[in-house]
Amino acid sequence: MNMTSRQSFLGENHEEVLAMQTVGIVGLCGGGSHIAQQLAHIGAGSFVIADFDFVEDTNLTRMVGSCPKDAEINEQKTTVIKRLINTIKPNTKVEVITDSWLSSYDMFQKCDVIFGCVDNYLERSNLESFCRKNSILYIDIGMDVHSTINGFLISGQIIVSKPDGVCMHCLGFLNDEIIAQEQNNYGAAGYKAQVIWPNATLASTAVAQYIASILPWSPDVKVPEMIHYDGNRHSLIVSSKLANLRAKGCPHYPGENNELD
Ligand SMILES: [Zn+2]
């Protein structure tokens, strides 16, 4: 028995495959911290992480790896996540961007996958567009808490945007109107409700899809482009419109699109 024997079903060479991976994570709070933690444990080779923000009291309820001292000194979120990764795996290379990811986008060009754990549409659109241009797998997660007549509804989604597949515009998740509306309301959105377990569920599912795409453990393992999370019914449901969208192909990134599988 060695350290990785319990995950050896991922393939004889899984350690090598994982060690070759460079993982980008943009946004390191609720969702991104879980992704960093899991991929450090499983053995991803190196990381490029970006977040311009600092730890506050309100992050401690959901940011894996953060502790009260970090909030007290307003530690940079990237410092906390680098520490988390290197506590789990001391020699893992972690490159840090403490500004917008766009300021050092060249550092992301070498990534094999980029996880977008951000809370706005424009940034998601920029990330997806960057990944398409550079043929990088993009995985986006997000959650929301909506108030209803009787209480609250927790919802979310995991989107896998493959370089030659349907995009977030195809999926109806992004469009010019949503992005423009967001820009007009910028600053007026108020605080967004967040809680730890939906973030963990979404992050775990995103990690599962990423590992499924590089180390499929069975021929029937799927990597669907969109999964809806319903946190009230505790369900993860693959979007029902994927077959149609795949058949149509993506018109939004024409130069970058090949035949769809
Ligand atoms: Zn598209």
Cα distance between residue 132 and residue 247, in whole Å:
19
Q: Which residues surround ligand 1, an ion (CB under 5 A)?
A: 167, 169-170, 250, 252
**Least confident interval from 4-18, 74-88, 228-242:** 4-18
Tell how far the Cα of 251 is from the centroid of ligand 1, in angstroms.
5
pLDDT at 209 over 80: yes
The pTM of this model reads 0.95
User: Model confidence over 120-138: pLDDT tens digits?
Assistant: 999 999 999 999 999 999 9
Kindly state the average pLDDT of the residues 19-44. 97
Cα distance between residue 167 and residue 151, in whole Å:
33
- Domain range summary for the chain, segments of one domain joined by +: 12-256
Tell how far the Cα of 207 is from the centroid of ligand 1, in angstroms.
23
Tell how far the Cα of 23 is from the centroid of ligand 1, in angstroms.
24
Distance set, CA 220 to CA 137, 212, 253 (Å): 20, 10, 29
Cα distance between residue 86 and residue 70, in whole Å:
17
User: Model confidence over 72-117: pLDDT tens digits?
Assistant: 999 999 999 999 999 999 999 999 999 999 999 999 999 999 999 9
CATH number of this structure's domain 12-256: 3.40.50.720
User: Model confidence over 164-181: pLDDT tens digits?
Assistant: 999 999 999 999 999 999
pLDDT at 227 over 90: yes
Cα distance between residue 1 and residue 13, in whole Å:
16
Here the tokens at position 183 are: 């820009």
Helix (H) or strand (E) holding 77: helix 77-88
Q: Which DSSP category does 76 fall into?
A: B
Q: Per DSSP, what are the bridge partners of residue 24? A: 48, 114
